[in-house]
A and B are shown apart, each in its own frame.
Chain A
């Protein structure tokens, strides 16, 4: 069951990410990014992170991507045109990125024993981190960073309003 769900949603993730690259219109890229984020939420559920799965849907697939699609529609962005710069990036960038992926995968597979816990693999409902566990650590040990993020968000809101308003308004 776990294997099937993993393969399905990992496939959705990769397909969405590849589609993001292939689409030339930003609105299609945004929609495929929503697919990636929603399937990542299911993968979080498989890993026993309930709260993060909900937060992934609400914050990423909901709030952030709505903001993205809103800006794409507001600015009426057209399809992108190919330029010289993008061709150079394709020729040099693709082999470099494939090499990076190969190095990371080899490292992960080689050090599989050291990286993972004594248990042989990840199984469903082995250990579910409830919201209670999460909030116990968050509000006891990490209360100060948590409160600091509220200040960060306030500053971000003010900055966004200041940047986006019309000049001289």
Chain B
């Protein structure tokens, strides 16, 4: 391994670490909006492994997959934050322990 090249598995392990940090955040955070941020972190971690594989196999379609994930994540963020605003309006709290009913 020279100084200029690094193994692709490093990127994959970084991606796995970021994904696991996202899972931890999803489990321990108690504010609805931070839980949502952890989901975004997990999406980003998966995107990183897509780009790594696309680079290793010289496949452009892997990058296009990331493009579609970004589009879906943007749509998801808009709808999710609107739901958070609606929940806050009816409950006046964002603590996930107090938001245990689907009904608004």
For this complex, into which size category does the number of interface residues on chain B fall? 35 or more
Q: Which of A68, A105, A124 contacts B16 (CB 8 A)?
A: A105
User: Distance in Å from the Cβ of A159 to the closest Cβ of chain B?
Assistant: 5
Given A85-B30, A134-B63, the answer on whether A43 and B48 have CB atoms closer than 8 Å is yes
Q: Which residue of A lies closest to B30 (CB)?
A: A80
Q: Mark B61-84, 1 if CB is under 8 A from A, else 0.
A: 101101110111111111101111
Q: Which of B6, B18, B33, B41 contacts A26 (CB 8 A)?
A: B33
Q: List 16 A-B contacts (CB under 8 A).
A: A1-B4, A3-B6, A17-B22, A29-B34, A43-B14, A60-B40, A75-B88, A75-B94, A93-B23, A93-B28, A104-B13, A109-B13, A122-B6, A149-B68, A152-B71, A160-B78
* Docked complex Cα distance between A6 and B3 (Å): 11
Q: Which of A52, A83, A104 contacts B66 (CB 8 A)?
A: A52
Q: Which residue of A lies closest to B24 (CB)?
A: A97
Question: When the two chains form their complex, are residues B16 and A129 in contact, meaning their CB atoms are under 8 A apart?
Answer: no
* Docked complex Cα distance between A77 and B85 (Å): 11
User: Distance in Å from the Cβ of A4 to the closest Cβ of chain B?
Assistant: 9
Question: When the two chains form their complex, are residues A55 and B81 in contact, meaning their CB atoms are under 8 A apart?
Answer: no
Q: Which of A1, A18, A121, A157 contacts B7 (CB 8 A)?
A: A121
Q: Which of B6, B33, B86 contacts A164 (CB 8 A)?
A: B86
Q: Mark B1-16, 1 if CB is under 8 A from A, else 0.
A: 1011111111111101
A8 touches B (CB below 8 Å): no
* Docked complex Cα distance between A151 and B81 (Å): 20
Question: When the two chains form their complex, are residues A20 and B38 in contact, meaning their CB atoms are under 8 A apart?
Answer: yes
* Docked complex Cα distance between A10 and B52 (Å): 14
With a cutoff of 8 Å between Cβ atoms, the chain B residues found around residue A60 in the complex are 40, 44, 70, 73
Q: Beyond the given A33-B41, A109-B13, A163-B82, could you list 4 further A-B residue pairs with CB under 8 A, ordered by the A residue number?
A: A71-B84, A100-B20, A105-B16, A127-B58
* Docked complex Cα distance between A108 and B10 (Å): 9
* Docked complex Cα distance between A20 and B34 (Å): 8
With a cutoff of 8 Å between Cβ atoms, the chain A residues found around residue B30 in the complex are 80-83, 85-86
* Docked complex Cα distance between A149 and B67 (Å): 11
